[in-house]
Amino acid sequence: MSENSILARLRRRAAPPRGSEVVLGIGDDCALFRPRRRDLDLVFTTDMLIEDVHFLRETHSAADIGWKTLARGLSDIAAMGAQPQFCLVSLALARDLDERWIDRFFGGLLRLARRYQTVLAGGDLARAAKVSCDIVVCGAVPKGTALLRSGARPGDHIYVSGVLGGSALGLETRSGRALKRHLRPEPRVRLGRFLREELGATAAMDLSDGLSIDLQRLCAASGASAEINAPLPVFPGATLDQALHGGEDYELLFTLP
Amino acid sequence: MSENSILARLRRRAAPPRGSEVVLGIGDDCALFRPRRRDLDLVFTTDMLIEDVHFLRETHSAADIGWKTLARGLSDIAAMGAQPQFCLVSLALARDLDERWIDRFFGGLLRLARRYQTVLAGGDLARAAKVSCDIVVCGAVPKGTALLRSGARPGDHIYVSGVLGGSALGLETRSGRALKRHLRPEPRVRLGRFLREELGATAAMDLSDGLSIDLQRLCAASGASAEINAPLPVFPGATLDQALHGGEDYELLFTLP
């Protein structure tokens, strides 16, 4: 299957809906976005998912990989309290992968994209020895209201949005709900908006590397220190170690006054 | 060198200039862009450069790779007649690469970024077996004026912006001006704007895969066919084959009424 025919098929599957601010999607040198409201800030994230580093092709289906590629980007958008607008994906395909694999990859990605009204607006295709997937997501948020890592103040309370360690447990046991957490993380897009609009969160970030590293980063950005004196919310069956250092939970870490 | 210390150093080197529409650069979950003018369209491109596919580490220096990573993205922005605004870069580093290599990579990238007033606003770092570099570039263009592939009309004249085949020749001979064309292509950003503002070009795209493939794409997008009845502008020493099929020249292909 040639690059041209893959693109032609994707163009049909991912056509921007009528009235979309993405006025030109897949097929030209660039995608074209026409912001309708002037009182918005645009936020951008990029995130790479690489074979044999972040996933194995033997254990992760094409649809899982497509889903997770986008989920990691959406999780960053959620952490800003923003609403996803569109994404672009750069995909390096291993030479032995066929049309069916590519179809399923984009099937997984587009399923999650639809859930959060994210238009697949473009990208790049290449062939390489290993699969790698880089996602770019653009989100929008009312001017000056994005949730930053740097907004936490001494005296704020620290929260996480769910239970931690599930992804690491799933990677180890390869079964049950924990495995689903690992393969198909759910980006906390609605919660991110709720934190910004309703709860007045002072800072937020997503938990991709693990609470132990990410809380340090939030503290460093905010010029504050943290104390944990309540038991951690641990995924059923996960160890404290997995909850602290496992990473890839894609829950939100945030602070409230 | 840890990810945190690489990022801290990059943050200083790539700080957005005062008054930039990039109000938040490297360091949070997302970069934040605050468009000042409402009469602009934003264009987005992404492009991947992969070790052993697009370059060899033995023959391409870290600075060359950094330069070329951005040059490919800027070339797409040029092809829309747009002005680059900011970029994000996802970089997978081979495990044996040290701090110096990373420094030089970003040195090459930032040198080109400064030349075209492009802010390095964020990205992602990972470790993998091979180097891969994915660039995202955002450009801006007055609403409704972007140069598309689809605008060519029967009777239009077809042009390329320079001589072709130099990059393929440089890859073969590994010497002289041709090698420089291959290693450090110059994106035609100013020419792209000139085509849009002064010449009233009807269609444009950049020549990355070679005239033989790319002219077909422009024709398909425009619903037109093309006839070449003048001698091709060939890079001194390159063959006709290299000029037609070599690719990676990053000149602009465009049409005028």
Q: Which residue on chain B is closest to A37 by alpha carbon?
A: B38
Q: How confident is the model at residue A72 (pLDDT cuts 50, 70, 90)?
A: very high
Angle at A31 between CA A30 and CA A36, to 5 degrees: 135
- pLDDT for residue A252 is more than 80: yes
The pLDDT tens digits for A169-181 are 999 999 999 999 9
d(CA A218, CA A254): 9
CB A49 within 8 A of CB A169: no
Enumerate the residues of chain B whose CB falls inside 8 A of the CB of residue A124: 46-48, 134
Enumerate the residues of chain B whose CB falls inside 8 A of the CB of residue A150: 28
Those residues with Cβ within 8 angstroms of residue B145's Cβ, 6 or more apart along the chain or in another chain: B41, B81, B196
Q: Specify the DSSP element, H or E, that contains A62.
A: helix A62-79
Q: Does residue A33 sit at the B interface (CB-CB below 8 Å)?
A: yes
**What was the pLDDT predicted at B5?**
81
**What was the pLDDT predicted at B96?**
93
Q: Which residue on chain A is closest to B123 by alpha carbon?
A: A46
pLDDT-flagged residues of chain B (< 70): 1
Enumerate the residues of chain B whose CB falls inside 8 A of the CB of residue A127: 53
Question: Which strand ranges, in their side-by-side order, compose the sheet holding B157-160?
Answer: B157-160, B252-256, B203-206
Q: In the structure encoding, which two tokens stand for residue B117, read together?
A: 């007033």
d(CA B120, CA B108): 12
**What was the pLDDT predicted at A139?**
98
CB A140 within 8 A of CB A81: no
Those residues with Cβ within 8 angstroms of residue A74's Cβ, 6 or more apart along the chain or in another chain: A84, A112, A116, A118, A137, A187, A189
Q: Which residue on chain B is closest to A132 by alpha carbon?
A: B132
Q: Which of A32, A48, A148 is closest, CB to CB, to B92?
A: A48
CB A22 within 8 A of CB A32: yes
- pLDDT for residue A2 is more than 80: no
CB B252 within 8 A of CB B194: no
Q: How confident is the model at residue A81 (pLDDT cuts 50, 70, 90)?
A: very high
Cβ <8 Å between A31 and B24? no
- Region(s) of chain B under CATH 3.30.1330.10: 3-142
Contacts A–B by Cβ distance under 8 A: 188
Cβ <8 Å between A48 and B124? yes
Q: Does residue A95 sit at the B interface (CB-CB below 8 Å)?
A: no
Q: From the CA of A42, how many Å to the nearest CA of chain B?
A: 5
d(CA B45, CA B40): 16
Q: Does residue B223 sit at the A interface (CB-CB below 8 Å)?
A: no
Q: Which of B77, B90, B205 is closest, CB to CB, to A46?
A: B90
Does CATH place domain A149-256 in 2.60.120.380? no
The pLDDT tens digits for A108-149 are 999 999 999 999 999 999 999 999 999 999 999 999 999 999
Q: Which of B128, B130, B149 is closest, CB to CB, to A28?
A: B149
**What was the pLDDT predicted at B1?**
55
Cβ <8 Å between A90 and B42? no
* Residue A19 amino acid letter: G
Those residues with Cβ within 8 angstroms of residue A58's Cβ, 6 or more apart along the chain or in another chain: none
- ipTM of this complex: 0.95
Q: Which of B89, B130, B205 is closest, CB to CB, to A29?
A: B205
Among B residues 143-202, those touching chain A with beta carbons less than 8 Å apart = 143, 146, 148-150
Enumerate the residues of chain B whose CB falls inside 8 A of the CB of residue A136: 44, 46, 88, 136
- Region(s) of chain B under CATH 3.90.650.10: 149-256
CATH topology of domain A3-142: 60s Ribosomal Protein L30; Chain: A; (3.30.1330)
Q: From the CA of A79, how many Å to the nearest CA of chain B?
A: 7
